[in-house]
A and B are shown apart, each in its own frame.
Chain A
Amino acid sequence: MNALDFVVLIGSMLGIALYGIWRTRGRRDLSAYLKGGHTPWFAIGLSVMATQASAVTFLSTPGQGYLGGLAFVQVYFGVPLALLIIAIFFVPVFRRLNVFTAYEFLGRRFDSKTRLLGAGLFLVQRGLGAGLTIYAPAIVLTTVFGWPLNLTIICSGLLVIIYTVAGGNDAVTVTQKYQLAIIFAGMITAFCLLVAKLPAGLTCADTLTLAGGLQKLNAVNFSPDLHERYTFWSGLLGGTFLMLSYFGTDQSQVQRYLSGESLREDRLGLMFNAVCKIPMQFCILFLGVLMFVFYQFEPAPLFFNPATSHALAMQDDGGNLRAYENDFDAAHIQTRQQLENWLAARHRGDQAAANEAFAAAAAARQQGEKIRLAANRELSSEKSATTANDADYVFITFILRQLPHGVIGLLVAAFFAATFSSKAAELNALSSSTTVDIYRQLIRRDATDAACVTASKWFTAGWGLLAIGFALCAHLAENLIQAVNILGSIFYGVMLGLFVVAFFLRRVGGTAVFWAALAAQTLVFVLFFGSAVSRYWQDFFGCACPGGRLLLKAAVISYLWYPLIGCAACVGFSLLLQSAILFGNLKRQT
């Protein structure tokens, strides 16, 4: 990055933050601070979109498209259905009860312990997630640019804390509009420049045929296999439950759409996202597919993650890395030559020669992938702490190596804008829930509005500092966007279960749903950690633990199913417990 990039980056980020503080100066009353003013539906729609799309979405998703093709888009198949359900059933009730947080509704419907449980589940998972939101882009950008990781986390974290504390909910909404504008400007510029950089003579149909032939356009997979991570069914059923939980029960989203002037604004803001989410994710993934096509004609690095290459270079005085790179480059040259032959044959209408050249290109590319895998395996066998987690580094590598200065600054600003927009919404929601569900319920029931606003500001700062602390200690093994989704999946099912029982099972009471939720959360933990536990058991005792085989099988199902399992278990256990309670009462009476 040069001076121009830094001017674009720092100017846009500071400018938006200062504008947010200036626009929302003097917010003193609690409702304005926590709920915001009269936001129109279009601003709500953008705010909901900006809250969900963190920097990881824009950094990591193109890498997903590059490595795995379009299959990841299926995760978002649940969004339209989930948002419809929320708009029809959830929002009118939240509006009518005039609640600050979604968990306040649980308190009205059941009792205060269930409200505290819902708020507690939210605070735990979102508190951890907030650290991840700030850590994820920082680790990628600092690895690539060589910036100090801790300083990047602290500086970006503090800037968000300052404007969120100053302006509350309105500051979040106001800044999100401009942050989203920076994000879209950056992504559209990158898309146009990438298209311009594709080889001359490669038409749109050629690009699609090439990407499709190398299995990058498999967008929809109807396989019923539960162990496959991304399928139509896991996206539609599991994804609907995941998104229903996220948009319907996560205060960071509920707070966004409850800031509207009326029910109409809230609903239209949600419907805007229901229509736009799938095409938006498709475009980001398709950017990755286009990068894949681009790198078939241009030399790609063996690993996009510089830390992986560095770890390999440490072995054998760099001899290992050079050997792998030479073999990989040779396979790439072979792939490119065969693809050029394929293109020439295709354009002169010689289908047989085109098929032959394409098969040879696919075989050469396969060879390149084998070399990459072998290098990765060697790293793993050396028990290096570094893993070849390339998806997060593909897009940033492309930006740095292929795009001009100024645009680099714009795109890095876009990643920070995305971090700030979701981080600010998370802090605002964490603070609202702590103030409304914990502070005024357990600590100071007679607190005035002014005292609550002051407390809310302290909670925002506290959660922000905690997130920075968590980010400073974070260590991730898997792809970042998956880590964020997996963390949500573990808690969201039970949270959704609480709300499903509240909305649709009127005869179930607070005690039944409270214990059912605890049991359901335990079940999800067992499923998630079951595989590790049974493996440790086997290592320690030399035999399978009771139910170990079943646990091992169950634990490898896609994380997209956890919300459905958690929700179903919570609802099922609630019905059973309520029946048991009613039966017990009847028995006592007779």
Chain B
Amino acid sequence: MKSPVEVESPAPETEKTGLPLLRSWPAVYLFVLGSFVLWVALLVALTKIYS
């Protein structure tokens, strides 16, 4: 069986995301972090308001 070989690919951070608003990878990562912070904030608010 052939062993796998290293493949040439564009530099990970320069490859396009193909998304309409989030065109660069740092923007995608910031969006993910932002949504995480938003969820935690909403859950904290739920805990504080109703408990």
Among B1, B7, B17, contact of A264 (Cβ-Cβ < 8 Å): B17
- A99 engages B51 (CB within 8 Å): no
- B4 engages A97 (CB within 8 Å): yes
Among A212, A220, A448, contact of B43 (Cβ-Cβ < 8 Å): A220
C-alpha gap A97/B40 in the complex (Å): 36
- A70 engages B43 (CB within 8 Å): yes
- A217 engages B12 (CB within 8 Å): no
Contacts of B2 in A (CB 8 A): 449
- B36 engages A274 (CB within 8 Å): yes
Chain B 1-25 interface 0/1 with A at a Cβ cutoff of 8 Å (1 = within): 1101111010010011111000001
C-alpha gap A263/B14 in the complex (Å): 11
Contacts of B19 in A (CB 8 A): 268
- Which stretch in A56-64, A275-283, A531-539 binds the other chain? A275-283
Contacts of A448 in B (CB 8 A): 1
Closest to A87 in B: B29
Contact A99/B15 with A212-B50, A212-B51 known, Cβ cut-off 8 Å? no
Among A88, A95, A220, A274, contact of B7 (Cβ-Cβ < 8 Å): A95
Contacts of A77 in B (CB 8 A): 36, 40
Residue A390, interface by CB 8 Å: no
- B51 engages A264 (CB within 8 Å): no
- Shortest Cβ gap from A139 to chain B (Å): 32
- B50 engages A100 (CB within 8 Å): no
Contacts of B7 in A (CB 8 A): 95-96, 98
- Shortest Cβ gap from A211 to chain B (Å): 7
Among B1, B6, B18, B35, contact of A449 (Cβ-Cβ < 8 Å): B1
**B contact residues, total (Cβ < 8 Å):** 30
Closest to A274 in B: B32
Contacts of A88 in B (CB 8 A): 12, 29
- A217 engages B35 (CB within 8 Å): no
Contact A264/B35 with A88-B29, A218-B47 known, Cβ cut-off 8 Å? no
Contacts of B44 in A (CB 8 A): 219-220
Closest to B32 in A: A274
C-alpha gap A332/B1 in the complex (Å): 68
Identify whether the interface residues of A are mostly helix, strand, loop, or mixed. Answer: helix
Residue A465, interface by CB 8 Å: no
- A268 engages B29 (CB within 8 Å): no
Closest to A93 in B: B12
- A220 engages B40 (CB within 8 Å): yes
- Shortest Cβ gap from B42 to chain A (Å): 9
Among A104, A267, A278, contact of B39 (Cβ-Cβ < 8 Å): A278
Residue A271, interface by CB 8 Å: yes
- A209 engages B28 (CB within 8 Å): no
- B32 engages A73 (CB within 8 Å): no
- Shortest Cβ gap from A212 to chain B (Å): 3
Which of A70, A100, A262, A264 gathers the greatest number of chain B CB atoms within 10 Å?
Answer: A264
Chain A 437-455 interface 0/1 with B at a Cβ cutoff of 8 Å (1 = within): 0001000001111011000
Contacts of B33 in A (CB 8 A): 80, 84
Chain A 83-122 interface 0/1 with B at a Cβ cutoff of 8 Å (1 = within): 1100110001001111110001000000000000000000
Contacts of B25 in A (CB 8 A): 267
- B47 engages A217 (CB within 8 Å): yes
Residue A30, interface by CB 8 Å: yes
- B43 engages A219 (CB within 8 Å): yes
Chain A 259-272 interface 0/1 with B at a Cβ cutoff of 8 Å (1 = within): 00011100110010
- Shortest Cβ gap from A121 to chain B (Å): 22
- B9 engages A282 (CB within 8 Å): no
Residue A81, interface by CB 8 Å: yes
Residue A215, interface by CB 8 Å: yes
C-alpha gap A258/B33 in the complex (Å): 23
Contact A279/B39 with A98-B4, A98-B6, A211-B50 known, Cβ cut-off 8 Å? yes
Which of B7, B35, B36 gathers the greatest number of chain A CB atoms within 10 Å?
Answer: B36
Within 8 A of B (CB), among A274-296: 274-275, 278-279, 282
- Shortest Cβ gap from B28 to chain A (Å): 6
Contact A263/B29 with A96-B9, A278-B36 known, Cβ cut-off 8 Å? no
Contacts of B50 in A (CB 8 A): 208-209, 211-213, 217
Contacts of A211 in B (CB 8 A): 50
Contact A220/B47 with A97-B4, A97-B6, A263-B12 known, Cβ cut-off 8 Å? yes
* Subset of 21 A-B contacts with CB under 8 Å: A70-B43, A77-B40, A80-B32, A81-B36, A87-B29, A96-B7, A97-B4, A97-B6, A98-B7, A211-B50, A212-B46, A218-B51, A262-B15, A263-B9, A264-B18, A268-B28, A275-B32, A446-B1, A447-B1, A448-B1, A449-B2
Interfacial residues, chain A to chain B (CB-CB below 8 A): 30, 70, 73, 77, 80-81, 83-84, 87-88, 92, 95-100, 104, 208-209, 211-213, 215, 217-221, 232, 262-264, 267-268, 271, 274-275, 278-279, 282, 440, 446-449, 451-452
Per CB-CB distance, the 9 closest pairs between chain A and chain B, nearest first, are A212-B50, A219-B43, A80-B36, A92-B12, A98-B4, A217-B50, A274-B32, A278-B39, A98-B7
